[in-house]
Amino acid sequence: MKNKKSIMIKIAIAFGILVSATLMMKKKDMSYRQSVLKTLYPMIMWSSHSSGIKQVLNNTQLLVPNQSLYNLHATTIEGTDFNFASLKGKKIMLVNTASDCGFTGQYEALEKLHQQYKDQLVVIGFPANDFKEQETKDNKNIANFCQKNYGVHFQLMEKSIVIKKNHQNDIYKWLSDMTLNGWCNQEPAWNFCKYLINEKGVLVNYFPMTVDPLDPIVIAAIEKKE
């Protein structure tokens, strides 16, 4: 009986510590879930890094697309038309994003990439609610969340579908169909998967969500001269 009581006390103490920690981690303009996930992000990335590196895909033969990305358009989160032909001559990183994901902390790293390589790299986010209802906000609230909590200034597109099902947006159809991009059939495995396109419009890399945007392997790909 004493042992049972002791265990119950320890559980109560642990629960109290957890609740207190959650309250302390609460950040302005974030839900408790978002605050906790942002705090835990470094641990999440550390624990998943090794498996993530194994899932990286490389276009080692530089196979060229059968359909040019530069023929495609998308709609920005502000509601305006975006012509991908305007990106000729620059590298492009396309990322499917979400506000309530364990990998949402990558917004901050993506913004750092945007600032550091803005003369040679264009970062574009595609908010999507395709994984466990982790992006339920509308376009306006997504934009506000990213700006207030992660200082995002890189371009976001309107919320859309990025996985292979009805109404997958045209950009992600291109990214995940080898008959279009030349070699890659990989759709996003989760939120914050990253596709890198070189200056000639060739899809060269796929990085899963478990590889941080500032990982040396990503930086090397960005700085690589084709």
Q: What residues are annotated to the active site?
A: 149
Inter-residue contact 148 to 99 (CB < 8 Å): no
Three-state secondary-structure class, residue 57: strand
Q: Which residues on neighbouring strands pair with residue 168, listed in sequence order?
A: 161
Residues 63, 175, 77, CA angle at the centre, nearest 5°? 140
> Burial level of 3, CB count in 10 A (0-12/13-18/19+)?
exposed
User: In the chain, where does DSSP find H-type helix?
Assistant: 2-25, 32-54, 106-116, 139-150, 170-175, 178-181, 216-223
Distance CA 190, CA 56 (A): 14
Tokens 């530089």 -> residue: 62
